[in-house]
Amino acid sequence: MPFIIFIDFDYFYAQVEEIMNPAIKDKPVVVCVYSGRTENSGAVATSNYLARSIGIKSGMPLPQAMKIGKDRAVFIPIRKDFYKEFSDRVMNTISTYSDKIEIASIDEAYIDVTEECSTFQKAVELGKEIKEAIFREHGMKASLGISINKVIAKILGDMAKPDGIKYIDEFQVDGFLNNLEVKKIPGVGTVLSTKLKDAGIVYIKDILNRDPRAMIDILGNAKYTYLVEIAENRYNKPVEERIRKNFGRYITLPENTRDKFIIMPIVRKAVDSAYGKAPGIPGEISAIGIMEDLDIVSRSITGGRINKNSAYEIAESLMEKILDSDQRKLRRIGIRIGKITSNESLDDFFGT
């Protein structure tokens, strides 16, 4: 019987901002995507629970959110590169507990701990240990769900928010499914759940008592099969590592500095590491600078097949541009490569 742990970083973007600036953690925090059309045009990317409690939600137009949060909320521009780098660190911690990890998004992951745990209770104990490690090492609160498959684990993780943990073993699953509303199942959105409700389907078990042809008309073959497998407790899609589109390496400098004689050799080391992970030759390369105040500045170039020898020069040039455009000292540097195509020969890879 598989033991699956689902991990969800609570209100991730906003929580990262709270971690980096503890002075705002007791305030409504709103992470914003500015459109650039006007000073305040854009939308809310996410918000912490305090902001949600006063009515500021994801997707809300910024002018409306600012009206609600006037003199109360903290509005922060989104910093995607920084959140990705923070997520990578937390995911690295999680990956030390199992080789079978599926990173579902920047703030969600599944791990299969069947080989690590001889009983379900040991899986629960391990889940608690992982949750504590995430908070201890990164200050990040997470919600966990633990069960026998990915779907039930995710539903439990959603139910455990915020900062909780819920679990159901194999002996409790049937009872759980008997009372599970179909709208809580991953992949069943608002529109589809409304159609199912109109057809008399409120609980997942209801689907087993309906004409399959009628259900397929509403759901389509794939989703009908998916829901029937869940209802009959036959769903068993394994935890699978996602195919990575980007490969990179971040390295902390010995000290905060702008000294190129210190920085550039580490840039080359990061290039070596990134190319060592990639299964082919990239068509895109980015240099990332994490500044002394933890802000992130990046520069990228796209085009052609960039062999490793060329990448050294390109990466150094991109880092030069970061240093020329910003007077702050660097704390960490990163190199990320993407748009990978397969190697044709070692000469292609190394540029010889």
Residues recognised as catalytic: 108
Residue 5 CA to residue 70 CA, distance in Å, equals 40
* CA separation for the pair 218, 56 (Å, rounded): 34
Q: Which has the closest alpha carbon to 19: 163, 135, 129?
A: 135
Query: In sequence order, what DSSP letters do the residues of 215-275 get, joined into one string?
Result: HHHHH-HHHHHHHHHHHTT---PPP-PPPPSEEEEEEEEEEEE--HHHHHHHHHHHHHHHH
Q: State the Cα angle at 106 between 31 and 157, rounded to 5°.
A: 95
Could you count the other beta carbons within 10 Å of the beta carbon of residue 33? 16
* DSSP percent split of the chain into helix, strand, coil, nearest 5: 45, 25, 30
> Alpha-carbon distance 302 to 339, whole Å?
9
Cross-strand partners of 297: 289
Indicate the SS3 state at residue 161. coil
